[in-house]
Amino acid sequence: MNFVYIIILLGLSISLSAMENGGLTKLCQEHNASACYQYALSKAEKNKSGNQELSDDGIIYMREACSLLESKACDFLATYYFDNKLYGAAVPYLNDSCNRGSKDACLSLGSIYRDGHDVRIDDVKSREYYEKACTLKSGDACYAVALVYRAGFGVKKDRFQEKSFYKKACDNGLKAGCDRFTEMDDEDKGIKRSFWEKIKSLF
């Protein structure tokens, strides 16, 4: 009896879900951006690595939601394509998200242009995106800009700028930025560090 009851409930649940999804697709066809997004989201699942996977129609509806100016859908696609290493597809969505103030999107673009993922390596663009992410309070991005000035990628090597971006990384909560800033500040003040302290700072 209990088994039959469970089967009936399961059948009702599936029917209701189908009706709900049918309603969402109908609303989406009527250019309801939120409905397109909600339907697409229902087609998303996490894979073993923790990244999102979308069914083919899920991608179609997510793109439609984005084209209808549903910003959450555009952000989803930016992250989805980047996490799945589809960098060429990710760039336009990341640009949109970055322009709307997403520090993570700006940081991702900086990495794409730094490493040449499906694009030509561009140190200037990479730094500009990292700097924008830094202004949006990304400690990792501030640290990346510091390394740009340390190595001279697309800019002249500049110790002052390097140190200042380590400080910004520290201010945005990145311990590695604090450690490197302190090390450089000690050097500027003439404070000598022991050999083992220098080795320890590398790790």
Dist CA 78 CA 26 (whole Å): 26
Q: Which CA distances in Å does 118 have to 16, 30, 86, 89, 103?
A: 43, 36, 8, 9, 21
Q: Identify the three-state secondary structure at position 157.
A: coil
| CB atoms closer than 10 angstroms to residue 23 | 12
Q: What is the pLDDT of residue 11?
A: 37
**Beta-ladder partners of 53:** 45
The domain ranges of the chain are 20-84
Dist CA 106 CA 198 (whole Å): 32
**139: which residues sit within 8 A by CB, 6+ positions away?**
168, 169, 170, 172, 173, 174, 177
Q: What is the pLDDT of residue 22?
A: 66
How many alpha carbons fall within 13 Å on the CB side of residue 25? Answer: 11
The answer on pLDDT for 29 being more than 50 is yes
pLDDT in tens, 161-180: 999 999 999 999 999 999 99
Q: What is the pLDDT of residue 45?
A: 78
CA nearest 107: which of 156, 148, 141?
A: 141
The answer on pLDDT for 6 being more than 60 is no
Residues of the chain with pLDDT > 90, as a percent, come to 66
Section 116-140 average pLDDT: 97
Dist CA 103 CA 141 (whole Å): 9
Q: What is the pLDDT of residue 14?
A: 35
How many alpha carbons fall within 13 Å on the CB side of residue 67? Answer: 10
pLDDT in tens, 44-88: 876 666 677 888 888 999 999 999 999 999 999 999 999 999 999
Q: What is the pLDDT of residue 24?
A: 83
Q: Are 148 and 130 in contact (CB under 8 A)?
A: yes
User: In the chain, what is the greatest distance between 2 CA atoms, to the nearest angstrom?
Assistant: 83
Q: What is the pLDDT of residue 15?
A: 38
The whole-chain average pLDDT of the chain stands at: 85
The answer on pLDDT for 25 being more than 90 is no
For 6-15, 17-26, 91-100, 151-160, which range has the lowest pLDDT when averaged over its residues? 6-15
DSSP string, 158-182: -HHHHHHHHHHHHHTT-HHHHHHHH
Residues of the chain with pLDDT > 70, as a percent, come to 80
The answer on pLDDT for 195 being more than 80 is no
